[in-house]
C-alpha cells in the first residue's frame, strides 16, 4: 500500500510517500506555501493520505480531495 503523509506547517508542508510492503519512504520533500504547485503525478497514486492534525487540516483535506477528483 502506498501512503502519502502530509505535515502542514505555517510556511512549508513536508510530504512523505511511504511504501508499506517494503517499509521504505522513497521520497520526502518540503513544499513552500508560496510556490504551492503540486508535484506532477509521475508515479502511482497513493492509496491512503494521512494528514497531521492542525488548524489547517480541513483545508488540506479539501485540497487533496479536489486534486484526486481532478485526476480521475
**What is the model's pLDDT at position 65?**
85
Contact 23, 34 (CB under 8 A): no
Domains of the chain: 2-71 (3.30.420.40)
C-beta neighbour count of 18 within 10 angstroms:
19
Residues of the chain with pLDDT under 50: 37-38, 40-41
Give the ranges where the chain is alpha helix by DSSP (H).
57-71
The predicted structure's pLDDT at residue 37: 47
**pLDDT reported for residue 42:** 52
Q: For position 10, what pLDDT does the model report?
A: 78
pLDDT confidence of residue 40:
44
| pLDDT for res 72 | 62
pTM for this prediction: 0.66
Amino acid at each position: 500500500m502506498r501512503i502519502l503523509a502530509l505535515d502542514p506547517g505555517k510556511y512549508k508542508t513536508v510530504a512523505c510517500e511511504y511504501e508499506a510492503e517494503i517499509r521504505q519512504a522513497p521520497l520526502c520533500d518540503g513544499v513552500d506555501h508560496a510556490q504551492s504547485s503540486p508535484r506532477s503525478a509521475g508515479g502511482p497514486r497513493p492509496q491512503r493520505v494521512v494528514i497531521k492534525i492542525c488548524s489547517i487540516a480541513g483545508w488540506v483535506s479539501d485540497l487533496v480531495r479536489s486534486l484526486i477528483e481532478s485526476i480521475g
